[in-house]
Structure formats: C-alpha cells, structure tokens
Amino acid sequence: MTHSATTDKRNQYHKTRMERKKAQIDASIARAQDEKGVLLVITGNGKGKSTSAFGMVARALGHGLNVGVCQFIKSRTDTGEEAFFSAHPNCEWHVLGDGFTWDTQNREQDIRTSRKGWEVAMGMLTNPRYDLVVLDELTYLLSYDYLDQDTVLDALLARPENQHLVVTGRSALAELRDIADTVSEIRDEKHAYTAGIKAQKGVDY
Amino acid sequence: MTHSATTDKRNQYHKTRMERKKAQIDASIARAQDEKGVLLVITGNGKGKSTSAFGMVARALGHGLNVGVCQFIKSRTDTGEEAFFSAHPNCEWHVLGDGFTWDTQNREQDIRTSRKGWEVAMGMLTNPRYDLVVLDELTYLLSYDYLDQDTVLDALLARPENQHLVVTGRSALAELRDIADTVSEIRDEKHAYTAGIKAQKGVDY
C-alpha cells in the first residue's frame, strides 16, 4: 500500500468512527433535557478544587448571572481571586474563615467562626437572587463536625430551584456526595509544592 | 465524666493534634522555597478541568499579571468564560477550535486547524510578557496525533523561566505528566449530564 493510500484509509476510518461517536453523543444530548439548579461537589486531595469553582464564577458572571461566594476556611484577604471578583458588581464575596484548624488550634473558636459563616451562607441559600452560590471549603466544617450535618444538608437541598451551588473541599462526606448532581474527585498525582516549589501568586492564591 | 469535662478533653486533644499538624506544615513551607514558572496539567474524565484553569486566570488577573488563553477544541464563542475574560485588558483570549473531532469528522481538517492554533500558542510560549498561559484541551491534539509530540513538549519546556502554564484535557500523555510540576487527575464520580440534566449556562459553558 502506498503512503497516500494508508493516509486515505486512516482518514476514512477516522470519519466512520467519528460519525458513530457523534450519533452517540447527539443521542445523550437529546436525552438530557432537564433544566434546574445543580449541586456540584468538587473534592479530593489534588489541586484545582477552589479554582474550578472560581472558573464557574467567571462563567456565570460572563452570562450576566448573580453570584455569591463564601470562603469558610481562608482568612487571608490578599488572594488574586478576591481582588478580582469582589470588584465585580454582580459578585458578592465573603472571606469567613479564621485560617485552617491547625492555625487556630482552638476548636471552640472554630465552631463559633463556622456558625457565623454559615449564617452568611444561609442568606444566599434562601435568596433566589443568587443564580450561583459557591461554598468554598465547606466540607471541612462538616468533617470536623463544626456544623450540624443534617441542618447543612437540608439547607443545601432546600435552596431555590434554579440556584446552582458548588461545594468544595477535601473529604466530602458520603451524605453530601449522595445529594449532589455532579461529584468530581481531584486526585493529586503530583504537586509542585512537594518538590520544593513554593506557592505561586496567580496559581496557588 | 460530666459533659463539660468531655468537651474540655476533646478541645484539648484537638489543640495538641493541631499543634503537631501546624509544626509539620510549617516545616514543609520552610522547605518549599523555589520560585519559578510551574507547569500544571489538569486531566481526567471529570468535570472541572477547564474551569480550574479559568480560576487560575482570575487569580492571576487579580494580582495584575498578564494572561494568554488558547482554547483548542471549542469553536463556540458564546461561552461565559470568553465573554467575561476577553473583555479584560490583561487577558488575551483565542478560540482556535473547530469543534470536537466527532463534529468535524475530518482528520485532515483537524490537523490543519491544530497547526494554526499551535502557532498562536507558540507566540505566547516564546514571549515572557505572558505570566500565565492556558492551553485548554491541548491534550487531545497530542493523543489524536494532530501535533508532533516532541515539538510540543520541547516548546512547553522551553518557555520563559517565570511563565506559568496550565494544560487541560482528558487522557494527558505520560510524557506530558512527566514534565509537569503539578498533575491533577479529575475523576468523574457522578455527572448531572448522565442523569438527564442538560448543560447549564454559567456552570457548563
């Protein structure tokens, strides 16, 4: 077979395979017709959970939607994401944390901080004005038992019907995964940090 | 033991554990001192790869950095992310795709489109003006063999020393993972789409 005949054949196989694939994908699109607010959980120990939520914030703002963000653990207010999004008129941004639990080393203080933060989140979860709500690092408040699990899960489910909600953080509880529409688990295959590269502005904060 | 004594004990254990954890974390921070441009690969079949890259775009812009984005597969220009970021003076945004390979069904056309897109990317990868470059869905161009693997990998490594680079897409090649500083694999545990919920504005595009 000449080179050109081989190429032609490869191109033809490609076309046939892709026709079949397109038919499958078109059929799934036709089946997927429901429009409603979705609950997304982005968990796992890899890099990209919060940034993934922030990417959805950008998408939503790009479509003219209203967004509310609660950051539950972080206390620093010098992050790129806050500087960038909090200036946007359609985005409400709250830094509600006291630092990670190993920074505070004080469980009762963490619980008080968590409860105060949760009230801010409840203001969003009961208000249909917010098209997208991000509860960044909420999972820790559940796994450390700083908030009552049933109260939180019920509130997530009782939010306005068309409100999208993104919850991030490691070790999402099974009960939270159960009520979610989409769950992504980010696995840390390799991290610059463990190779001695420090946290980089614009990438890590 | 009274309830209050139990609580006191739990709080004290918590404090001791968290002191130990803080010491470990402070030691890793002290070890991680290198500052340099990092190469991040966000791969896997789960939702959140591109949005994670867009979250880093927001972070970088929030710090006043310059960003360049190439979208290799997407051809649609009605996405929230493009509307949002392409309006920003420090962000250059290129939609370089023709749709997924099952949309075009034409391998030679895909190769031509990929090569044209790659030239745009090369303009960024050779210019230290860009602090962060995102090559969204580049992995497909390598796994479908639309671009020469060695040429691409060499160019990614030869970029300016302080330039951060994010590559997204499913099925990242082992060779690409090898040269990356950070690799996150996003596993699709559950997806709204397969439950019959269609792609949602502000979340999926």
For residue A2, the model assigns a pLDDT of 57
A119 to chain B, closest Cα gap in Å: 24
Q: Do A197 and B85 touch (CB under 8 A)?
A: no
For residue B3, the model assigns a pLDDT of 64
Q: What are the tens digits of pLDDT across the range B32-58?
A: 677 789 999 999 999 999 999 999 999
Q: What are the tens digits of pLDDT across the range A78-87?
A: 899 999 999 9
Backbone CA torsion sign across B67, B72, B73, B76: positive
- Chain A residues lying within 8 Å of B54, measured CB to CB: 51, 54-55, 58-59
Q: In terms of pLDDT, which residue wins out, A156 or A24? A: A156
For residue A24, the model assigns a pLDDT of 77
Backbone CA torsion sign across A89, B77, A37, A71: negative
Strand order in the sheet with B67-71: A91-95, A67-71, A132-136, A164-168, A39-43, A182-190, B182-190, B39-43, B164-168, B132-136, B67-71, B91-95
Query: Of A192, A189, A203, nearest to B177 (Cα)?
Result: A189
Contact B49, B186 (CB under 8 A): yes
Instruction: Measure Cα distances from B7 to A30, B3, B11, B14, B91 in Å.
Output: 55, 6, 6, 10, 52
Mutation site, B56, B69, B168, B187, interface A, largest A CB count within 10 A: B56
- Chain A residues lying within 8 Å of B201, measured CB to CB: 59-60, 63, 65
Is residue A29 predicted with pLDDT exceeding 80?
Answer: no
For residue A48, give the nearest of B28, B62, B184 by CB distance.
Answer: B184
Query: What mean pLDDT, rounded, does chain B reach?
Result: 91
Environment class of residue B76 by beta-carbon count within 10 Å: exposed (0-12), middle (13-18) or buried (19+)? exposed
Average pLDDT, integer, range B80-88: 96
For residue B203, the model assigns a pLDDT of 93
Q: In terms of pLDDT, which residue wins out, B43 or B1? A: B43
Q: How confident is residue A156, by pLDDT bands cut at 50, 70 and 90?
A: very high
Q: What is the CATH number of domain B38-187?
A: 3.40.50.300
Q: In terms of pLDDT, which residue wins out, B13 or A201? A: A201
Q: Do B202 and A59 touch (CB under 8 A)?
A: yes
| Bridge pairing between strands B39-43 and B164-168 | parallel
Q: How confident is residue B2, by pLDDT bands cut at 50, 70 and 90?
A: low
Is residue B197 predicted with pLDDT exceeding 90?
Answer: no
Is residue B72 predicted with pLDDT exceeding 80?
Answer: yes
Q: What are the tens digits of pLDDT across the range B115-145?
A: 999 999 999 999 999 999 999 999 999 999 9
**Both tokens of residue B121?**
């990317």
Q: Do A197 and B181 touch (CB under 8 A)?
A: yes
Inter-chain Cβ pairs, chain A and chain B, closer than 8 A: 286
Q: What are the tens digits of pLDDT across the range A165-196?
A: 999 999 999 999 999 999 999 999 999 888 88
Domain locations in chain B? 38-187
B113 to chain A, closest Cα gap in Å: 15
Q: Do B35 and A200 touch (CB under 8 A)?
A: yes
Average pLDDT, integer, range A135-142: 96
Is residue B30 predicted with pLDDT exceeding 80?
Answer: no
Is residue B189 predicted with pLDDT exceeding 90?
Answer: yes
Q: Do A84 and B61 touch (CB under 8 A)?
A: yes
> Is the interface score ipTM higher than 0.90?
no
Is residue B28 predicted with pLDDT exceeding 80?
Answer: no
User: B107-125 and B149-157 helices cross at what angle (nearest 10)?
Assistant: 20
Q: Do B189 and A195 touch (CB under 8 A)?
A: no
Q: Name residues whose C-beta falls within 8 Å of residue A131's C-beta, 6 or more positions apart in sequence.
A: A60, A65, A66, A67, A162, A163, A164, B202
Which alpha helices (DSSP H) does chain B contain, by range? 3-31, 49-62, 80-85, 101-104, 107-125, 138-143, 149-157, 174-179
For residue B38, the model assigns a pLDDT of 95
The residue of chain A nearest to residue B54, with distances taken between CA atoms, is A55
Query: Of A1, A49, A37, nearest to A157 (Cα)?
Result: A37
